[in-house]
Amino acid sequence: MRMSHIYQPVAIWTLLDKGGKASIHDIAREIAGYDEAMLNTMKSV
């Protein structure tokens, strides 16, 4: 099962919020903000 359908809305929102231009890093940061498992992993490092 592909996870892209979960992250696609965050990527689109980020692009819209940044006037249509966002780096992969910007989008990844936003996705991490919505991913509880990722946030927990980052907090433990």
Per-residue pLDDT tens digits of the chain, which is 45 residues long: 465 677 888 899 999 999 999 998 888 888 887 767 766 666 666
Q: In terms of C-beta density within 10 A (0-12 exposed, 13-18 middle, 19 or more buried), how is residue 16 classed?
A: exposed
pTM for the model:
0.62
Dmax over CA atoms of the chain, in Å, equals 33
Residue type, 17: D
The pLDDT value recorded for residue 17 is 95
pLDDT of residue 39: 63
* 42: DSSP letter: H
Whole-number pLDDT of residue 30: 87
For residue 43, the model assigns a pLDDT of 65
Tracing tokens 């992250």 back to the chain, one arrives at 7
